[in-house]
Amino acid sequence: MNSDIFMPSQLTWATGALAGGPLIRKTTRLADLPGIFADGEAWKCGNPQKSVYDVDVLGSPVGEGALFVGVTHLRAGNVGDEFFMTRGHFHQRREQGEVYFGLRGCGLLLLQTEAGDARLEQVTAGSVHIIPPFTAHRLINTGNETLSSLAVWPSIAGHDYAALAEGFTLRIFASGEGYEVRHG
């Protein structure tokens, strides 16, 4: 028996900061998101180096049954009138689900089936989102501060971005103090 007490990684719930372990950070900039936003001209006029979101993932073993833990920090901002959002994806292994937890900020989780049926869930600090199998998912920041969300998903799930080349069927635009949902 090993009686050493292992110090696990730490998550600061209020900010989504992960510490105390190997961390892999991926930054997605405006330049990395061609064709994602409805207003291509506004996208071209934006600062290509602008960071739209960071994803921090704890380095952990990969394999059947293993889980990844990561935090997405999605900045507040717009391209034209459309709010900053993640690229969005299906899992390569479509049958694999995921759980998102809202940590700070406010926004929306866009979920879409393979048949194109879409729905939205409100993301706030403390919200829990069970993403079913066979369901694409995208975060949208509708607020004025960074939206941070914790995610736990099977390491074998993989990401399929190409299947959404046509985009999601819903888009979210700034409207007055709030947002407007548009189809198509």
Residue 30 contacts by C-beta under 8 Å, 6 or more apart in sequence? 43, 46, 47, 48, 49, 50, 52, 79
Q: DSSP character for 63? A: S
Q: List the one residue from 11, 37, 43, 70 that touches ligand PAN (CB under 6 A).
A: 70
Q: Are 146 and 104 in contact (CB under 8 A)?
A: yes
Could you tell which of Zn ion, ligand PAN, none binds residue 142, using a CB distance below 5 to 8 A set by kind? none
What are the helix (H) ranges across 60-134? none
Q: Which stretch binds ligand PAN (CB under 6 A): 17-25, 80-88, 109-117, 169-177?
A: 80-88
> Minimal distance in Å, beta carbon 20 to Zn ion?
24
Q: Which stretch binds Zn ion (CB under 5 A): 37-45, 56-64, 90-98, 107-115?
A: 90-98
Q: Considering the rule CB under 5 A, would residue 98 count as an interface residue with Zn ion?
A: yes
Q: DSSP character for 64? A: T
> Minimal distance in Å, beta carbon 158 to Zn ion?
9
Q: Exposed, middle or buried, 139 (CB in 10 Å: 0-12/13-18/19+)?
A: buried
Strand 107-113 to 118-123 pairing: antiparallel
Q: Considering the rule CB under 6 A, would residue 86 count as an interface residue with ligand PAN?
A: yes
Q: Considering the rule CB under 6 A, would residue 98 count as an interface residue with ligand PAN?
A: yes
> Minimal distance in Å, beta carbon 94 to Zn ion?
11
Q: Considering the rule CB under 5 A, would residue 56 count as an interface residue with Zn ion?
A: no
Q: Considering the rule CB under 6 A, would residue 112 count as an interface residue with ligand PAN?
A: no
* Residue with Cβ nearer Zn ion (56 or 98): 98
Could you tell which of ligand PAN, Zn ion, none binds residue 70, using a CB distance below 5 to 8 A set by kind? ligand PAN
CA 55, 12, 15, 97 torsion-angle sign? positive
Q: Considering the rule CB under 6 A, would residue 141 count as an interface residue with ligand PAN?
A: no
Token pair recorded at residue 75: 């900045």
Strand 51-58 to 67-74 pairing: antiparallel
Q: List the one residue from 17, 55, 76, 174 that touches ligand PAN (CB under 6 A).
A: 55
Q: Which residues of the shown chain bind Zn ion in the complex (CB under 5 A)?
A: 98
